[in-house]
A and B are shown apart, each in its own frame.
Chain A
Amino acid sequence: MWRNTNQAYGIIAIALHWLVAVVVLVLFALGLWMVDLTYYDTWYRAAPSIHKGVGVLLLLVLVLRLFWRLVNPKPAPEPSLNRFERLASGAVHGLLYLLLFAVMMSGYLISTADGRGIDVFGLFQVPATLTGIPNQADLAGDVHLALAITVLVLAAIHGLAALKHHFIDRDRTLMRMLGRSAPRPIKGYQSRPSSNP
């Protein structure tokens, strides 16, 4: 149950999925909020430092998640999915990973533009590497915001699609990511015990 099977996501994959989802949402809100804080706000210094620290940790989680995805079987898409849905969902999943990495890289390039590293809650430092591009912090900042908004839009599409599968198509797409492996009973259909499940 920790690992994936061909049919279902394991606990680790499910936990990583929802952890990333929640942290991305929190970081997005925190990011928007912190840039409008005024100089004398208590959080003026703490909020960006939390945003950066959590961002770096999220990068580690995402790497772990990709590694886990690589060494686990990939549950087959629900049979009810048509060709377009299979292609589109695959593309959105891939894009989400790609964009999340790009968002983190652009954020890293803001904070390290002058050679300063990123301190992660006093645990360790991420050193600067690429520095000194003209207007690096400003450019990276524009990219960071634009990509973050794109991630949110894609995530919204991803989430709406899951709800559509749940409520309209009435398939198990959403339930699988919630760890419910049993098939949903079809309305009005009385399942009978069978020797051939």
Chain B
Amino acid sequence: MRNRYLTAVSLAMAIAIPALTPGQAQATAERYVIDTEGAHAFIQFRIKHLGYSWLYGRFNEFGGTFTYDQDDPGASQIQVDIKTASLDSNHAERDKHLRGSDFLDVTKYPTATFKSTSYKETGFNKGVLEGELTLKGVTKPIKIEVERIGNGPDPWGGYRRGFEGRTEFVLKDFGIDYNLGPASRTVEMMLTVEGIRQ
């Protein structure tokens, strides 16, 4: 009886102690994997069509990880890799054109990458993420306006955290200079990511 009690206590301690002691003092950033498997992440873009309307598209295949530290948000980092061939604007012929050498040239540049260099929280649930975007072989710094959407446990025993970012850039800066008209020189990108804590 006594033995069994002791075993239970030591077992409990063996589980609890390692969870309590290390790491907690030194602020370790939590690591998250973007939930592309469950498709709770979206990389979308929009560009004006002739200046009369918005054309929306997205990249269906991408992946990445981010870290987030509630105590030191400035230390957060993110990297996302996008398969450029997965572009989808709901029109096969347009997608074919956009994948071709006039635009993304996906056979030559199959991957686009964003890698953050700094993150600053600027207000309640707001922040600015700076980093380098590599698109069509050109790497340039861009700034992403970030909104923290939420975080917490999910119903299946995991822990999730989500952000949405918006940015815009001039296509020509990344070597895409096909003339779509004066209203369509810049593209807006909307990145919605939900990460599952590892």
Contacts and interface: CB of A to CB of B under 8 A. Distances in A.
Nearest to B107: A138
B9 interface: no
B14 interface: no
B96 A141 contact: yes
A39 B85 contact: no
B71 interface: no
The interface size bin for chain A is: 10 to 19
B181 interface: yes
B93 interface: yes
Interface of A: 38-40, 48, 110-114, 116, 135-138, 141
Contacts of A113: 92-93, 96
B93 A137 contact: yes
A112 B179 CA distance: 26
B108 to A, nearest CB: 13
Given A135-B85, A138-B99, A39 B179 contact: yes
Contacts of B99: 138
Interface in B169-184: 178-181
A39 B177 CA distance: 12
A113 B91 CA distance: 8
B85 A110 contact: no
B87 to A, nearest CB: 11
Interface residues of B, number: 13
Nearest to B184: A39
Given A135-B85, A138-B99, A116 B179 contact: no
A38 B92 contact: no
Contact of A111 (B93, B95, B178, B181): B93
Contacts of A39: 178-181
B3 interface: no
B181 A40 contact: yes
Contacts of B53: none
Interface in B81-129: 85, 90-93, 95-96, 99-100
Given A135-B85, A138-B99, A110 B180 contact: no
Contacts of B181: 39-40
Contacts of A48: 93
Contacts of B180: 39
* Ranked 3 nearest A-B pairs via Cβ: A113-B92, A114-B92, A137-B92
Contacts of B85: 135
B83 to A, nearest CB: 11
Contact of B90 (A114, A136, A138): A114
18 contacts: A38-B178, A38-B179, A39-B178, A39-B179, A40-B179, A48-B93, A110-B92, A110-B96, A111-B92, A112-B92, A113-B92, A113-B96, A114-B90, A116-B92, A137-B95, A138-B96, A138-B100, A141-B96
